[in-house]
Amino acid sequence: MWQIFHKLGSPKWFFGIASTLMPWLLWAGVAMLAVGIGWGLAFAPQDYLQGNSYRIIFIHVPSAFLAQSVYIMMAVAGLVTLVWRMKLADVFVKSVAPVGAVLTFLALFTGAVWGKPTWGTWWIWDARLTSMLILLFLYFGVIALGAAISDEKSSARAVAVLVLVGVVNIPIIKYSVEWWNTLHQPATFKLTEKPSMPPEMWVPLLLSVLGLYLIFGWLACLRMQTEILAREGRTRWVKELVQAQGN
């Protein structure tokens, strides 16, 4: 078992696996996202209270969901960096941090656009919105710290510590709507109960969440490959790969 784990850490091995996976991730992701968002925006029924404006959830929920999942994945990679000193884990953290930041921004932005007609305000300092804003700043912090330290090893460790400290924010985001009084409504989807939404609304929503996951997977592979090429430019396998592509 440990052997597979260490093999996973080899950039060359990962590069090959990523190349085979990427087309599948991309096309399956694009198809699911197109069906999910198309269905959600055009065919799903209106909401009895909000009318059409609720449709923004088909973009808001997937991006907010992914924004938090990406951070959890980064925290796991950070743990691997600190304990096993695996280079690939740091490559993952550095590659996906900007993606996570964009997703968090998208969640905050779509939320604000929805909040204006529904609540009557773009922004309110309630626990859910504020903790989500902290997540955005954590992503910015990870990107900035990673770029500020030029030594690869110390940069990896510093970023890993920051990511791990910040992971405390994730349960706060999740449970903020239950622990405190907030303007943001509680979760529509719970693991133990039926969603408080009919299937013709939650099926397209689920499709767009899964589609966005797959597209994230593709984007992560692509960005990690780029990062690996930049870091391992002097090794023999990269030179051979580049020569093979050149011919």
Partner 1 sequence: MHPIRKKRLTIVLVLLAGVSVAVALTTYALRQNINLFYDPSQIAEGEAPVDVRIRAGGMVEEGSVLRDPESLKVEFKVTDFTSSVLVEYTGILPDLFAEGQGVVAMGRLDENGRFVADQVLAKHDENYMPPEVNEALEKAAGKRAAMSGAESDAAASY
> Which residues of this protein are in contact with partner 1, per CB under 8 A?
45-50, 54, 79, 82-84, 117-121, 124-127, 161, 164-165, 167-168, 172, 179-183, 185-188, 196-198, 200-201
Q: Least Å distance between CB 99 and partner 1?
A: 24
Nearer of residues 29 and 78 to partner 1, judged by Cβ? 78
Nearest distance from C-beta of residue 154 to partner 1, angstroms: 16
Tallying the residues shown for the chain, one arrives at: 247
Contacts 24+ apart (CB under 8 A), 116-122: 117/53, 118/50, 118/53, 119/183
List all residues 6 or more positions away from 77 whose beta carbon is below 8 Å from its beta carbon.
89, 90, 92, 93, 160, 163
34 vs 83, which CB is nearer to partner 1? 83
- How far is residue 34's CA from residue 212's CA, in Å, rounded to a whole number? 10
Q: Can you tell me the distance from the alpha carbon of 152 to that of 154, in angstroms, rounded to the nearest whole number?
A: 6
CB of 4 to partner 1, least distance (A): 15
Of 160 and 238, nearer to partner 1 (C-beta) is: 160
Q: Which is nearer to partner 1, 125 or 243 (CB)?
A: 125
Q: How far is the CB of 165 from partner 1 (least distance, A)?
A: 5
The DSSP element (H or E) to which 156 belongs, if any, is helix 152-166
